[in-house]
Structure 1
């Protein structure tokens, strides 16, 4: 049914700043980010209720930071589990590769990786949307057609239960409608195949009693039957098990067959299976990500194997990257230059992450014993000689294209320190808006911004000083006292007096002096290409 739909006024169609097709995590996050910035948003979702079983199970610290701006991170966090790291077991059961989690204090304010229950997150995102007066939710509905021109997109929406249809207009349309995206198909865009095509069964189960289990998430790199074990939150546990060449997905419709395969890794008497499903793991990236006013995000434009835990995280990066650009474009009359950087920035980034996920999948899924033993020999040597990268986040690249400079920090994420505000300790992003920031540790460096203050305010820019103790600051500058030393150590290690930070918290530029700031703000102005 259509929920909370706005009525037409006279003969005018309902009009929204952005219409989002799909309210999974990517669509839910994008809609919340846009609405929190004051844009009118219409969310069209084919399922009236949240899909009841999990798919994604991993969030990284960048994803949690994004969820802060949706207002759900702190609510979700108590139900998550900090990821304990990952061991890769070779043919003979020896650890041949590993990931260890980053210890606290956490550079981005959250554990580097956490496990969670997806339906819980989706309910929180929908709840947050339902409380926003500028959001219209059309649940149980589908976008059945659209046409775009230079000023708007005209969208046809059908009620799945009754077949009734209506028409709305939007300045922008975003397809967050999954791997089988109808928006992508109607645009005529294709997916570039990275040639990873394997059938796996995914089993989520509740642990009912004590039994011997690995302490860490475990990759069973066994040619006889490759598998993954994931330590979920609470008593939720997951197994991802590769189908053998002679097996078909239909065989695993039989619960007895599922439990028989699961028994290779655990005492199944201690588990109640929540759900099992066969998936065709794939590695694909959209050849195009946008038309003039229509964009794709999440699984609609890329799919990746799960071996790096980055599928959902990549979709949330899409949402944050696109959200702040749509906000600026809407407020300043549109900017083709600005909006074109969505694909420029996100496509190579997600392609690199997918490449890494595929590489790990090939390590785990090798089914030829001779090649597997040679793999073990090479990886063991790297591990024992200290040549192996053992931090998962090292495989998540910085941005390398788009709205950036050529500074050493440009394209990396700014740290998120804890700061003292109103007598209590909070994370920086809970205080600073989703906007451009000019951040310094020295109030004197804030005087460099004075000649540009009006232009900075026009794009919503904020001026921040982060210090170890309270002190006076110029007018219009927000003073924050750091509770720890994450920001102080980060600034000192990178020898920078100030940084310009994008709304998605990627560093735009480091700043060394007043002339340097003037030059970089002029460059930023050209890259944004805003009308006013």
Structure 2
């Protein structure tokens, strides 16, 4: 019977990304998927800059990134067709190395991730496996699956359920779901434009009480409509393409469209009551579902993957205390719950069916737009981490750290591609000079790196951060800090005023990872 470090259930983007990140770390991984092939129709359509950075970490190639298209922004139109709210695409420079939002085609992403996963010989793919039972004890988990060849059983130390909203792993763990009180039926139609069509240049929210809808400008000639279904609509009839075209007529010349996919969905807002049960973890839709109005469902799932992957790596590869894994739920559950609540709020704005309330809404939103009372950047609604594996009391902790372009071997690279998926200290020379040799050895033991900002490193293990755009130096200056510690998932652990504070913070971090080791800040210069 095969024994793995981690079993991942589900080979959608969240499961595949989890497997890639664990594979990159050298862990033995089995990925189980009941379907024999990639689903060949679009579902998610927006990736934000955090998600793109995670895909970069997975080794997704430029061939996929070349298929992306910039998000053109979003207009919200009121009852009378007037602009009541908007999101503008943020112009360069891009702090995380990627535009804040890009449009993509999901089958292309899944194929690219499948190719990336194939690069890791320590990751084994098991398509056509349907999980029938999961058991766990203090040593690990045992999974039974039905396959075309018969029943199979595999074991691992941990399991991650990225198996969707109807998660088998969640049920096996006995975990419930908190309903956040949003349930609406919508039809989603993806179509290729085949001829001239008088359509908005930007993604548009039609906040019309007689038929709310969303129009999405996808990559290439792909366009999407999400249309709210009203009391009295016949859901069965909407299986017919003629009925679908009839409902589309209000928004587009249907003779200029070739429908690729249509599906009726019940948009929901819900979060799992727990994200961990012993050796079992939930990620992606298994842990949370949200309406699509903030375009964060998949992005949130990829944050889950990045978070749990580095923590499992620390435990399995660096001997870190397993208590680190408790921080997964502590960090991710409140973070995604806040995003789900924002998505629900936008859904209520867009989907209002009462004309008088819609008119009142329009008045309030138009005034907010006029006065600038509400941000027009979509990313303003994505919070930092507020608790978990972070330096207590540090205002900078929980931010996503910047990603500059750095010079190496005469060429520019995105920073993450060069420094790798490790803990990293970015600091000025004075702060790094203050570190005791024994503290540095402990830092290197967990795979950490030390990078000098604003000067040339004289010797290993300190590396020169030769950035072409000054993004790290600018961050330290804005925060008035001498140093910052960044986690493997690129969230800020904490920032320090000087070398003494940096040494204390590093020692505290190391003690949390390995409580049985005697780690001190040492003699500080």
What interval of TM-score do these two structures reach, taking the shorter chain for normalisation?
over 0.9
* Alpha-carbon spacing, 1:200–1:136, altered in 2? closer, same or farther (3 Å): same
2:435 alignment partner, SS class: helix
Residue in structure 2 matching 1:194, options 173, 180, 184: 180
2:510 paired residue number: 525
Aligned counterpart, 2:143: 155
Deviation at 1:531, TM superposition (A): 5.7
Q: Which of 301, 315, 318 is the matching residue for 1:329?
A: 315
CA shift, 1:49, in A, is 0.8
Deviation per residue, 1:415-441 (Å, 9 max, x gap): 10111111111110111111100012x
- Separation in structure 2 between the aligned mates of residue 402 and residue 371 of structure 1, nearest angstrom: 40
Whole-angstrom distance in 2 between the partners of 1:214 and 1:44: 42
1:436 matched to 2:389? no
1:416 aligns with 2:403: yes
Q: Could you tell me whether the CA contact under 8 Å between 2:442 and 2:510 is conserved in 1? A: no
The Cα RMSD (Å) is 1.3
CA apart distance, 1:249: 2.1
Runs of 4+ that moved beyond 4 A: 529-532
Mapped pair 1:457 → 2:444? yes
Q: What is the aligned partner in structure 2 of residue 72 from structure 1?
A: 60
Cα pair 1:80 1:114 within 8 Å, conserved = yes
The answer for the alignment partner of 1:139 in structure 2 is: 127
Residue of structure 2 aligned with 1:48, choices 36, 39, 54: 36
SS state at 1:282 partner? strand
Matches within 5 A, 1:107-506: 107-159=95-147, 161-162=148-149, 164-333=150-319, 335-405=321-391, 406-440=393-427, 442-451=428-437, 452-467=439-454, 471-506=456-491
Measure the CA separation in 1 of the matches of 2:515 and 2:225: 49
Preserved CA contact (<8 Å) 1:337 1:529:
no
TM-score normalized by the length of structure 2: 0.96
Aligned twin of 1:507: 492
Q: Which residue of 1 aligns with 2:18?
A: 30
Distance, in Å, in 1 between the alignment partners of 2:364 and 2:132 is 52
Per-residue CA deviation, residues 332-372 of structure 1 (Å, 9 max, x unaligned), is 44633200000000000000000000000000000000000
Matched, 1:39 2:27: yes
Residue 501 of structure 1: how far off its partner (Å) = 0.3
Contact 2:61 2:112 (8 Å CA) reproduced: no
Residue deviations 1:202-233, cap 9 Å, x none?
00000112221111110000001000011101
Distance 1:80 1:514 in 2: 43
Alpha-carbon offset, residue 59 of structure 1: 0.4
Measure, in 1, the Cα distance between the counterparts of 2:38 and 2:476.
43
8 Å Cα contact 2:310/2:489 also seen in 1: yes
Quote the offset at 1:51 in angstroms: 0.4
Question: In 1, distance between residues paired with 2:451 and 2:151?
Answer: 49
2:14/2:302 contact within 8 Å kept:
yes
Once residues 445 and 522 of structure 1 are traced to their aligned partners in structure 2, the CA distance between those partners, rounded to angstroms, is 14
Structure 1 Cα separation of the partners of residues 134 and 372 of structure 2: 55
Inter-partner Cα distance in structure 1 for 2:38 and 2:231: 35
Q: Is the 8 A contact 1:199 1:249 kept in 2?
A: no
Query: Counterparts of 2:120 and 2:29 in 1: how far apart (Å)?
Result: 10
For 2:61 and 2:70, locate their aligned partners in 1 and report how far apart those are by CA, in whole Å.
14
Q: 1:106 aligns with which of 90, 94, 102?
A: 94
| 3-state SS of paired residue (1:249) | coil
Query: Structure 1 stretch 124-133 or stretch 176-185: which is displaced more?
Result: 124-133
Number of aligned positions between the proteins: 515
Cα distance in 2 for partners of 1:49, 1:530 equals 45
Which TM-score applies when normalising by structure 1? Answer: 0.95
Displacement of 1:518 in angstroms is 2.4
Contact 1:447–1:474 (8 Å) recurs in 2? no
Shift of 1:474: 3.5
CA distance in 2, matches of 1:272, 1:473: 62
Q: Is the 8 A contact 1:443 1:474 kept in 2?
A: no
Contact 2:189/2:226 (<8 A) preserved: yes
Moved more, 145-154 or 190-199: 145-154
Say if 2:186 and 2:227, in contact at 8 Å, map to a contact too: yes
Q: CA deviation at 1:488?
A: 2.6
- How far 1:73 moved relative to its partner? 5.6
Task: Tell me the alpha carbon deviations over residues 270-289 of structure 1, each in whole angstroms, 9 at most, x when there is no partner.
Answer: 11000000000000000011
- In structure 1, what is the Cα distance between the partners aligned to 2:431 and 2:156? 42
- Distance verdict in 2 for CA 1:417–1:278, change over 3 Å: same
| Unpaired stretches in structure 2, ≥5 consecutive residues | 518-525
